[in-house]
Amino acid sequence: MDQNIIDFGAKWLEKAEPREVSRHLMVLPARERMNLLLGRKDGEAVAAALPAQDFYLTVKEIGPDDALPLLAMARVEQLDHIFDLEWWRKDRIQPTRAIEWMDRLFRASGRKVLAWLYHADFELLVTLFKKWIRVVLKPEDLDPVEARDLLPPLTLDDQFFWEVRYPQYEDLIRNVLSFLFEAHYGFYKELMHHVISQLEAEVEEEAYRFHRGRLEDRAIPDFYDALEIYRPIRPDEISGDKVMALDRLQDAPPPSFALMQVPAGTLLNRAIRNLSDAREIDSLQLELASLANKVVVADELAPDEPEHLLAATGKVAATVNLALDLLTGGDETAAQLYLRNAFLEELFRYGQYRLRRLQRKIRQVVEGGWIRRWPAGIDCLDADWLKAVEIVLERTPRLLRPSSDPRRPPQEDFFRDRADLKRGKQLLHTLMALGPLFDALRLSPQDLEKRLWPEGQVRQLRDVTLGTLLFTASLRFLREGGWRVEPIPVGDWPDVFRSAAPENIRSAIRSLEESILSETRWRRAADRYLDALYDAYESEISPFNPENPPDPRLVSWFLFEG
């Protein structure tokens, strides 16, 4: 069954077992997931069957305060996962975040609070209550009446007196401690003794050790282990001897959030969709979720932000798809063999290797080529090209994908296949082809900056682009026959504009290309940059004619001097 097109109105759903329903819940919007659970008689069983990460993502997408009915259905293991992600920052508990979540859980279900308290690591409870309350044990020789005057104001047994460090949550803390006191006084007594006697740093360190162990059990590594996903790998290093990670699945289904983010129609989606072995799909779900978790950690994203986890999942799906497309030439059968025999992490590392190689070459042009010689660096690139270079050099390389609607601008997206990698290479070749054109202009940036007209559109060097340099130099060429950048005197503009017809500008710059770019492929590469400028210039300048030139204060295509 295609996991991307589950029909939740189908009759099979009404009779399906909780685990089977939970496998497919993540295809629904978050609120519909919760409504479906609340509407079923076995809703708590279905919620309990949800993998912890799917449950957490659902709670976060709905909003914690709106998801109280869902929290009331949670297993303690699901609560553990929520608290592990929400309470900790590196190796320290955030007491205010912890008490906020405890308040939510109490409002959702006091029974769940008690269940979690009995399940939680004792070191964690000691750490929490050391941060939440100050406790004093009544001296044996102190009269109970005097104790109430000299000791903290709250007590349940006239032995342990305490005050809450967060007054707004005093009722909550009193209720939680009352639960423990009434249900198991021995446990309550031991907890209070430890809160008094234990060193906070030591007990928190021990709590952190258990916290890290739980995260690692859910394939959420520490930072240095996560960085392994960015170690380069070549095709001949892909092992091809994967053993399905079914021993990790145990009794619960694997997290399905990652698989649901694989875009329909991609090679990865088609290859997974046509796998017939449900255990293979489960194994791939586990691998995808594990990779997404590693990306969150390695990229230093916030693990408690759903959009960060989903963005990491999108990056994983795109990069694995890129690797499959490169390795198989788009062949679906070959892609299925890779999914069966190669670890997805190795495919991800190969896809990243190819992206980093492209990124490194573009950075060499930016940091060591002609762009470096311009004082404002890559700001000399015209708008869309500047954006394209900026996002390909980000930590996660991206490209500008043309919109299917010509009225909308290109959108940022991941590199997903060979065609995208080809676009990236075209960007590289275009930047390389523009270098000889830049060098031919015989620029003196320092002199240029002194001469720019303060009333014009281009008033300082950071406003200057390669387009304005070439367009300005082309007018000098048309009128004098030489290629150099000289700002146009504002008083000469009406006369100069007679030479500035779009076809004249295009013809002049084409003659420069032909004189210094001997190979057709390099001229094509430069034209990818220039053609869009010609079209935009023609559109902007078409309403004017030599008898009616545009106001130079509104013209951004040329450099002027006063």
Question: Which pair of tokens denotes residue 68?
Answer: 């109280």
Q: How confident is the model at residue 242 (pLDDT cuts 50, 70, 90)?
A: confident
Burial of 349 (0-12, 13-18, 19+ CB in 10 A): buried
Dump pLDDT digits (tens) for 333-349. 999 999 999 999 999 99
Q: What is the pLDDT of residue 5?
A: 42
Angle ∠(12,39,55) on CA atoms, nearest 5: 85
Q: Quick one: tokens of 464?
A: 């200057």
CA 376 from centroid of its chain's CA atoms: 29
- Considering the entire predicted model, what is its pTM? 0.88
For residues 80-106, average pLDDT: 96
Average pLDDT in the chain: 92
Average the pLDDT over 480-488 and give the result. 92
Q: What is the pLDDT of residues 283-316, one digit of tens each?
A: 999 999 999 999 999 999 998 899 999 999 999 9
Give, rounded to a whole angstrom, the gap between the first and last alpha carbons of the chain: 71
Q: Measure the CA–CA gap between 305 and 207, rounded to whole angstroms.
A: 23
Render 112-177 in DSSP notation, one character per residue: HHHHHHHHS-HHHHHHHHHHHEEEEEPPTTS-HHHHHHHS-SEESSSSEEEEESSGGGHHHHHHHH
pLDDT at residue 186 greater than cutoff 50: yes
pLDDT band, very low/low/confident/very high, at 141 (cuts 50, 70, 90):
confident
Asked if 78 and 55 count as a contact pair (C-beta separation under 8 A), the reply is yes
- Cα separation, 74 vs 54, in Å, equals 12
Q: Averaged over 465-476, what is the pLDDT?
A: 96
Closest CA to 468 of 445, 491, 450: 445
**How many Å apart are CA 415 and CA 378, to the nearest integer?**
22
Mean pLDDT of 247-270: 82
Task: Decide: 261 and 308 in contact? Cβ < 8 Å.
Answer: no
500 pLDDT higher than 50 = yes
Q: Cα torsion for 332, 335, 337, 340, to the nearest 10°?
A: -120
Angle between helix 306-328 and helix 344-368 axes, rounded to 10 deg: 90
| In the predicted structure, residue 556 carries a pLDDT above the cut 70 | yes
Distance CA 139, CA 161 (A): 11
Q: Which residue has the tokens 């008490």?
A: 99
Q: Give the three-state DSSP class for 488.
A: strand
* pLDDT (0 to 100) of residue 408: 86
Average pLDDT over residues 257-285: 92
pLDDT, one tens digit per residue, over 32-83 is 999 999 999 999 999 999 999 999 999 999 999 999 999 999 999 999 999 9
Name the DSSP letter for residue 198.
S
pLDDT of residue 284: 94
Query: For position 84, what pLDDT does the model report?
Result: 97
Q: Which residues, at least 6 apart from 390, have a Cβ–Cβ distance to it below 8 Å?
A: 378
Residues 175, 71: Cα–Cα separation, whole Å = 18
Structure token digits, residue 25? 């819940």
CB 55 within 8 Å of CB 69: no
In percent, the amount of the chain with pLDDT more than 70 equals 96
What number is the average pLDDT over the span 425-440?
A: 97
Q: What is the maximal distance between C-alpha atoms in the chain?
A: 106
DSSP 399: E
Instruction: Give the span between the Cα atoms of 264 and 262, in whole angstroms.
Output: 6
C-alpha–C-alpha distance, residues 103 and 105, integer Å? 5
8 A C-beta contact, residue 426 and residue 525:
yes
pLDDT at 80: 97
Whether 51 and 256 have beta carbons less than 8 Å apart is answered as: yes
Q: Is residue 528 within 8 Å of 426, Cβ to Cβ? A: yes
Q: Are 543 and 446 in contact (CB under 8 A)?
A: no
Q: What are phi and psi of 383, to 5 degrees?
A: -45, -60
In angstroms, the CA 213 to CA 88 distance is: 13
Please state, in angstroms and as integers, the Cα–Cα distance from residue 321 to each residue in 135, 187, 269, following that order: 57, 53, 8
CA–CA gap between residue 34 and residue 73 (Å, rounded): 10
Q: Are 471 and 557 in contact (CB under 8 A)?
A: yes
What three-state secondary structure class fits 315?
helix
Q: Confidence band (pLDDT; 50, 70, 90) for 143?
A: confident
DSSP 286-313: HHHHHHHHHHHHHTT--TT-HHHHHHHH
pLDDT > 90 in the chain, percent: 83
Q: How far apart are CA 387 and CA 399, in angstroms?
A: 9
Question: Where are the strands (E) in 9-107, listed by range?
Answer: 88-89, 92-93
In the predicted structure, residue 503 carries a pLDDT above the cut 80: yes
Task: Give the per-residue pLDDT at 249.
Answer: 47
Q: At 257, which helix (H) or strand (E)?
A: none
Residue 88 token pair: 């900790």
